[in-house]
Structure 1
Amino acid sequence: MGATMSGFLYYLVAFALALGILVVVHEFGHYLAACWAGVKVLRFSVGFGRPLWAKRLGPDGTEWAIGAFPLGGYVKMLDEREGEVPAEDAHRSFNRQPVLRRMAIVAAGPLANFLLAVLLYWALFWHGTDEFKPVLGTPTAASPAAAAGFENGEMVLKVAGEAVQTWQEMRWVLLQRAADEDEVALEVLNPRHEIAIRRLDVSSVRQSGWQGDALDRLGLGLFRPRLRPVLGRVNANSAAALAGLRAGDEIVAIDDQAIDHWAEVVATIRKSPGKALVLDVVRASERLSIEVTPLAVDEQGREIGRIGAAVSDSGQARAEMMIRVSYGPVSALGKAVAETWDKSAFTLLMIGKMITGEVSWRNISGPVTIADYAGQSARLGINYYLKFLALVSISLGVLNLLPIPILDGGHLLYYLVEIIKRGPVSEKTMEIGQQIGLALLLMLMAFAFYNDINRLFSG
């Protein structure tokens, strides 16, 4: 119970920290643009509801506050439509500003999120990250990868003519191509040092609604070195520990099926969530039979089994599978901008495909799933957490620019209409738009929470 509670708190803190950073950055974009435009800012709040903490600072006495409900935030500016404004401050009201200034203030929030993503990626690319090489394992039987002729140990050099260095790069380029193409050509170097072209049918990615891990459904998996199936670590209070497994145990069979290497252990456990398995192990020259039931956990929308144990002495083998990727400061900045642009465009593309029905609405994630990803990335290390922050910041920026009333994009749409018709949108039109926008936003939140609950209970 203690371990479960501490794990929950860890994920909660990781989520709260991410949310706090993203909200502050977004609202600070609005705040800085308002200050630049000469608009008086009355309040800067992280969270909604009654303030838990508030303090007035600066020459304008801006109230800086933390609200009781932390899911969001806002910047309240002086506005004659929301109350009486002293005559001497009228010129500093938001509604008195030229339309282009109002557009700049509204657009500055999402822009700040994109800039945060660029800065995070820049730091990561400049500092350097250790990534898995794009080396493939044995393709799943009867999968598109098997049909394409992929072999165990092949390294992917190019995807659709684009060179890739890492597993994540390969995955990203392949998913981008799969969004619009039925077949993608991959150039590989096989274990015999021969270059070959594999033509992979990726149509199933769109047909299955982009659920779970697309590469897994295509039959593509990361290469696993042949390691002896000896346990190096058994987590406290895990299924393995509760069953009586210990570090140093060598697994020689599972359910009377002989085991030769660690990858076979992982594969068997992953496909057996909640199913009792009998492990034959050798401990100090003595053969024992131990029954263990893998815990059922959700992995990107699919239920898999885990027992909470790791293989022994995998450090050297892991190092051989890794590549250090780093760039100079200028090259890193260019790559960071490109990465942010690509992911923004892909996010927008996926939203469009959800609207047209090509992509399932079940891909929308709510706070529970985002908190889970926040905790998982934080446990993997600072680099993974920063990548998570950058990706969510991009998603927040894109979402806020959608032309939906109540979002920043909705306000920008009003101002665009104002420029075209040379007059403001009527209060009645904006009121109806706000109601429609609120209904759409509530529907989106309902989908997200439903998906979260569905993932929790059905895996």
Structure 2
Amino acid sequence: MNILWYLGAFVLALGLLIVAHELGHFLVARLCGVKVLRFSVGFGKPLVTRRFGRDGTEWMLAAFPLGGYVKMLDEQEGPVAPEEVHRAFNRQPVGRRAAVVIAGPVANLLLAVLIYWGLFIHGVEELRPILAQPPAGSAAARAAIQEGETVRSVEGNPIRSLPELRWEVLRLAVDHQPVTLETVNPRGEIAFRRIDTSALDVSELEGDILRELGLALFRPKLRPVVGRVAAASPAETAGIRAGDEVVAIEGRPVAAWNEVVEAIRNSPGRPVTLDVLREGRQEALAVTPASVEEGGRSIGRIGVAVREDPAVHAGLTFQVRYGPADALGRAISQTWDTSAFTLRMIGRMLVGDLSARNISGPITIADYAGQSARLGLSHYLKFLAIISISLGVLNLLPIPILDGGHLLYYFAEVVKGGPLSERVMEIGQQIGIGLLAFLMALAFYNDINRLVFG
């Protein structure tokens, strides 16, 4: 059941991103007077085909969903009737061809803007940046961070939510810049905490940057009462029910929910005995946590959530909502910043400053898709926006076979004063295919490595 959920979330996300990308190519091609012969979501054997529109464009859903394409009238791909030569892609001025090519990645970036815009207008529940006591010896502990402090700014940039804190810290930490936090404690006392990031091994960085520095989110002590049990989860299999209160784990008394979480996280794939109080009777239940990968290590999960205290929850979260104009500005800014950061990280990876293990393939993306979908629509939409930005940026890289590679050819055509020879473009295509095959193999290797070894 879990696999179907994750697969469904992945296929839906991929389908939306492919449609947006190819629709960009399609609409601008039509705008430039180019005849579109086929619009395909997926590769390989056609599953569904329909023809409609004034040009009789074939709309196709194919069997292999990892991509799509728009096929245009082109003399380089087959004979073209004399009366339609003016609508062939290869006959268009270089500016129009470039516009058609760049429209796909731009459509992905615009999709991200639209998603963020909608989220900011509708309102998103965010966590306040309230910090827990950092682990001993961590960078945050050396900076004298105290439990209950709320971060007000990072290097003078105002901070309202945990995602904003994570983003600002990440931007600085990847360059080993010190991070100065302005914090306020529950008594209203303001302090400036300077976190040294020089010891952070960015080349091997995996997982949450805040956790790597010891910046943990404050979690109030909640009674260890189960609020929800996921269907087909290890907890359901073990007979755990909503309303059960965990009183002991492996014979050790439990007083707060965080103790339950810690014990389960530390037992991936190993049976754990929970003593629960149910309707006045104590029962011992054996559960084996599923092993999942997080931050480069395996942790245990059983598929339960705590019974929330609305009063406590209200103090830790708030609604982020803006008017249409402000929301659009913030959506554009968020998309721009994420795009620029993605390019920076690609550059760092190329020069060896960042581990190639950070390259993810479809298995990891499917995992993130499923996890974000389980957390709710807003989380899934944020995931979709980030992947859409990544797809747009990656397609603009000057690698032959990608959109950016075609743009590189067109730039060379402008400089040279004429198109490149077929031989040069053929060699470029071969290099591009080889490079993409290598990257895909590396991504699959990383996925399988995470899956098997955690």
TM norm structure 2: 0.95
Residue of structure 2 equivalent to 1:13? 8
In 2 relative to 1, CA 290–296 (structure 1 residues): closer, same or farther, beyond 3 Å?
same
Equivalence map 1:196-215=2 (5 Å): 196-207=191-202, 209-215=204-210
**CA deviation after TM superposition for structure 1 residue 206, in Å:** 4.1
**Is residue 451 of structure 2 the alignment partner of residue 452 of structure 1?**
no
- The answer to whether residue 162 in structure 2 is matched with residue 167 in structure 1 is yes
1:443 aligns with 2:438: yes
Question: Over residues 23-57 of structure 1, what are the superposed CA-to-partner deviations in whole Å (9 max), with x where a residue is unaligned?
Answer: 11111111111111111111111111232222222
For residues 169-197 of structure 1, what are the alpha-carbon distances to aligned partners after superposition, in whole Å with 9 as ceiling and x for unaligned? 11011111112233110111112221111
1:93 alignment partner in structure 2: 88
1:112 aligned to which of 107, 114, 128:
107
Q: 1:354 — aligned with what?
A: 349
**Greater mean alpha carbon deviation, residues 206-215 or residues 29-38:** 206-215
Kindly tell me: are residues 98 and 219 of structure 1, through their superposed partners in 2, closer, same or farther at Cα, counting changes over 3 Å? Answer: same
What residue number does 1:421 align with?
Answer: 416
Measured against aligned partners, the alpha-carbon deviations of 1:304-323 in whole angstroms (never above 9, x if no partner) come to 11222332343332222111
1:431 aligned to 2:426?
Answer: yes
The answer on whether the counterparts of 1:233 and 1:309 sit within 8 Å (CA) in structure 2 is yes
Counterparts of residues 396-407 of structure 1 (less than 5 Å): 396-407=391-402
1:255 Cα deviation from its structure 2 partner:
3.9
1:13-32 matches, cutoff 5 A: 13-32=8-27
- Per-residue deviation, 1:250: 3.2
Q: 1:18 to 1:236 in 2, by over 3 A?
A: closer
Give the partner amino acid of 1:345: A
Instruction: Kindly provide the amino acid, as one letter, of the partner of residue 13 in structure 2.
Output: A
1:228 maps to a residue whose letter is R
User: Could you tell me whether the CA contact under 8 Å between 2:203 and 2:352 is conserved in 1?
Assistant: no
Amino acid of the residue matched to residue 343 of structure 1?
Answer: T
Equivalent position of 2:142 in the other structure: 147
Deviation of 1:281 (Å) = 4.2
C-alpha separation in 1, matches of 2:136 and 2:364: 31
Does the CA-based 8 Å contact 1:206-1:358 persist in structure 2?
no
Whether the 8 Å CA contact 2:6–2:370 is kept in 1: the answer is: yes
CA spacing shift, 1:84–1:7, aligned 2, 3 Å: same
Once the two structures are overlaid, the 10-residue window that deviates more, 374-383 or 389-398, is: 374-383
User: In structure 1, what is the Cα distance between the partners aligned to 2:231 and 2:386?
Assistant: 33
**Are 2:235 and 2:303, in contact at CA under 8 Å, matched by a contact in 1?**
yes
What is the TM-score normalised by the length of structure 1? 0.94
Give 1:152's aligned amino acid.
Answer: E
Match of 1:326 in 2: 321
Q: Which amino acid aligns with 1:63?
A: E
* Equivalent AA in structure 1 for residue 300 of structure 2: G
2:225 alignment partner, one of 221, 230, 241 = 230
**1:3 alignment partner in structure 2:** none
Aligned to 2:39: 44
Alpha-carbon deviations, 1:224-273, whole Å to 9, x = none? 01112233334455433444544444334434544332112212221222
Contact 1:205 1:214 in 2 (8 A): no
2:190 corresponds to 1:195: yes
CA drift at 1:442: 0.4
Count of aligned positions: 454
1:260-271 equivalences under 5 Å are 260-271=255-266
User: What letter matches 1:414 in structure 2?
Assistant: Y
Quote the Cα distance in structure 1 between the aligned partners of 2:11 and 2:280. 49
Kindly indicate whether the alpha-carbon contact (under 8 Å) linking 1:130 and 1:322 is maintained by their aligned counterparts in 2: yes
Query: The residue matched to 1:347 in structure 2 has which SS?
Result: helix
Q: Aligned partner of 1:452: which letter? A: D
**Residue 124 of structure 1 aligns with which residue?**
119
> 5+ residue gaps in structure 1?
1-5
What percent of counterpart residues are identical? 60
Using the alignment, how far apart are the partners of 1:246 and 1:57 within structure 2?
53
Greater displacement, 36-45 / 177-186 = 177-186
Residue 205 of structure 1: how far off its partner (Å): 4.2
Q: Which moved more, 1:113-122 or 1:296-305?
A: 296-305
